[in-house]
Amino acid sequence: MSKNSRGKNSFWTKTPVVIIFAFICCFLWGSAFPCIKSGYALFKVPSDDAASQILFAGIRFFFAGVMVIIAGSLINRRVLRVSVRGIPKVFGLSMFQTAGQYFFFYIGLAHATGVSSSIIEASNTFFAILIAALIFRTENLTLRKIAGCILGFVGVILVQLNGASLEVHFTLQAEGFVLISALLAAFSSSLIKRWSADEDTVALSGYQFMLGGLILAIGGACAGGHLSFSTAGAAGYLLLTYMAFISACAYTLWGLLLKYNPVSRISVFGFMNPVIGVLLSAVILGEYSQAFRLSALFSLILVSLGIIVVNRQKKMTER
């Protein structure tokens, strides 16, 4: 390993660096839930118009990829590229992380609330642990991790309970699609960890965003999707730019953290995603009644505890 590689490795494994950048990622991702909802309102996208929702997602992620490539090229003083062997990796990652994940996420979020979506999406942490252990064999599946996964999934189920009646509110096109997107996000974490060993993480992130966004945008447009840019005005353009920045910044930083750290060490910070998502959904979307009801707050506690428990075993062993 070269001197520069060792220096870069030591930087991204420092605990303060991991905490700071992981929190930035989680805050950006948490803000995405109410931003998408607000975007639907600004661009006049109905909840039953899946084509327009996919078009909206595709435009966002294509420009996120452009941002990543431009920023990475300026920082490195060269145009970022992937090797010929890396092209299939870009395609595979775009199908899991962008095209596949956000096809389900954008449609699901149009039918589910921002609060419940924030908490359900947190289940990708538990999926990531199970996939890494059972499929990719890069993590050990201990009893403590299994207990943490159970805690987290109980929290995900709890947020769907409708008040004192204990009626479960779950539909495939709403909460079900959000859950599928979480599963695809978990697969992408393991793929990033494996494929970034041979390719530039920033280049992988940028080009997979561009390809995935292009697939979504073309698919949405061909299906009859339409965005009302004239009515959205300056607020719509600013929101779309910020949402592209969310993806460009958060996924690139998260990819770098995954490259130089175990998946379990980074996943522990994912408990901040539902917390931030719920709070911002309450403030921006006015979902106060759902955000601060007892079952939602208790589910947040269970999800957070589950993620901490899943990752605590490794830290205790190291000490």
pLDDT recorded at residue 170: 79
Q: Is the pLDDT score of 96 beyond 50?
A: yes
Contact 84, 207 (CB under 8 A): no
Q: What is the mean pLDDT of residues 188-205?
A: 87
Q: Which two tokens stand for residue 6?
A: 């060792």
Q: How confident is the model at residue 5 (pLDDT cuts 50, 70, 90)?
A: very low
Q: Which residue has the higher pLDDT, 310 or 20?
A: 20
Contact 53, 39 (CB under 8 A): no
Q: What is the mean pLDDT of residues 63-92?
A: 93
Q: Which residue has the higher pLDDT, 57 or 158?
A: 57
Q: Is the pLDDT score of 245 beyond 80?
A: yes
The model carries a pTM of 0.79
Work out the mean pLDDT of the chain and round it to a whole number. 84
pLDDT in tens, 12-50: 988 889 889 988 998 898 888 789 989 999 999 998 899
Q: What is the mean pLDDT of residues 306-317?
A: 62
Q: Is the pLDDT score of 299 beyond 50?
A: yes
pLDDT in tens, 97-153: 899 999 998 899 888 887 778 778 778 878 888 888 888 887 778 888 788 888 877
Q: Is the pLDDT score of 276 beyond 60?
A: yes
Q: Is the pLDDT score of 53 beyond 90?
A: yes
pLDDT recorded at residue 312: 66
pLDDT recorded at residue 160: 63
The amino acid that residue 204 corresponds to is L
Q: What is the mean pLDDT of residues 61-82?
A: 93
Q: Which residue has the higher pLDDT, 77 or 169?
A: 77
Q: What is the mean pLDDT of residues 173-202?
A: 89
> H-type helices in the chain, by residue range?
3-13, 15-42, 50-76, 87-93, 101-111, 114-121, 124-134, 143-158, 177-195, 201-222, 229-260, 263-267, 272-285, 288-291, 294-318
pLDDT in tens, 198-218: 888 899 999 999 999 999 999
Contact 30, 118 (CB under 8 A): yes
Q: Which two tokens stand for residue 286?
A: 């006015």
Q: Which two tokens stand for residue 310?
A: 């899943």
Q: What is the mean pLDDT of residues 67-85?
A: 92
DSSP of 164-202: GGTEE---IIIIIHHHHHHHHHHHHHHHHHHHTTTS-HH
